[in-house]
Copies of this chain bind each other. A is one copy, B any other.
Amino acid sequence: MKAYLKSIVEYNDNRLSRGFAFFIQFLIVLSVITFSLETLPSLEPRTKVVLQSIEIFCVVVFTLEYLARIYVADQKLRFIFSFFGIIDLLAILPFYLSFGVDLRSLRVLRMFRLFRLLKLVRYNRAMRHFSKAMLLAKEQIILFMAITLVLIYFAAVGIYYFENEAQPEHFSSIFDSLWWSIVTLTTVGYGDVYPITVGGRIFTFFILLIGLGIVAIPTGIISSSLTKVVESKGELE
């Protein structure tokens, strides 16, 4: 019995285990759609009941899946404290905790339901590649994130000195200026804050010329690390 359940749950290449994996993935996506629909401001009571029923069904299945995984695991404690064990627990915990708490905390708890999305990593090849790539390049990403942060801070201080007097409402402190430097150096440029003084504009010019190259580095590292993982997938899997 345990061996049979293990063959289904731990994804070997038979038809039943594939069906099971597909079913769980379907429930994850369904659960996420339900979660999104619940945020719609004007929902009819009937729709709410339907959404809650789907939610309860998903949680029951996820709980059974979690218990089954513990049951079939050779080292039970090791599974519970593994990456996927914790994710599986976080995916159901918010539902059970919501019975014992007041309404204010409920809001935060509901947000944690999103951890279910991470359950997809187990089944999705792209996600697996991606998490491997992040691990491979971890040290480099941290190192160059540091440079990016220093540059963003530098830009914020500079623009603060140029624009603070001209636009005290937008550049009231370095923390406000940081918002500008993030939005500008990533080239998002919402247009809610921008320099208006000549000095501030010339400073923006130089910061952009240098900064674009620097902000692009972590991006480049993630991309090249992913390419390596995808190309060597035969060896790693």
Residues of A within 8 A of B (CB): 32, 35-36, 39-41, 107, 111, 114, 117, 120, 124-127, 129-130, 140, 143-148, 150, 153-154, 157, 160-161, 164, 168, 172-175, 179, 182-184, 186-192, 194, 201, 204-205, 208-209, 212-224, 226-227, 230
- Chain A contact residues, majority secondary structure: helix
**B230–A140 touching, CB < 8 Å:** yes
What residues of B have a CB within 8 angstroms of the CB of A144 in the complex?
126, 130, 226
**A39–B230 touching, CB < 8 Å:** no
**A223–B216 touching, CB < 8 Å:** yes
Known: A117-B150, A173-B36. A145 touches B209 (CB 8 A): yes
Distance in angstroms from A184 CB to nearest chain B CB is 6
How many of these chains are in the complex? 4
Of chain B, the residue at the smallest CB distance from A121 is B150
What residues of B have a CB within 8 angstroms of the CB of A173 in the complex?
36, 39-41
**B217–A188 touching, CB < 8 Å:** no
A161→B108 CA distance, assembly (Å): 8
Distance in angstroms from A216 CB to nearest chain B CB is 5
**B126–A39 touching, CB < 8 Å:** no
**A127–B147 touching, CB < 8 Å:** yes
A32→B115 CA distance, assembly (Å): 36
**B126–A174 touching, CB < 8 Å:** no
**B187–A190 touching, CB < 8 Å:** no
Known: A143-B129, A188-B189, A218-B213. A182 touches B204 (CB 8 A): yes
Q: 7 closest A-B pairs (Cβ-Cβ)?
A: A126-B143, A213-B222, A188-B189, A191-B191, A213-B219, A190-B191, A36-B174
Which of A36, A125, A230 has the most chain B CB atoms closer than 10 A to its own CB? A36
Please tell me which one of the listed residues B117, B192, B201, B213 contacts residue A191 in the complex, with CB atoms under 8 A apart: B192
What residues of B have a CB within 8 angstroms of the CB of A120 in the complex?
150
**B219–A216 touching, CB < 8 Å:** yes
A179→B205 CA distance, assembly (Å): 8
**A125–B143 touching, CB < 8 Å:** yes
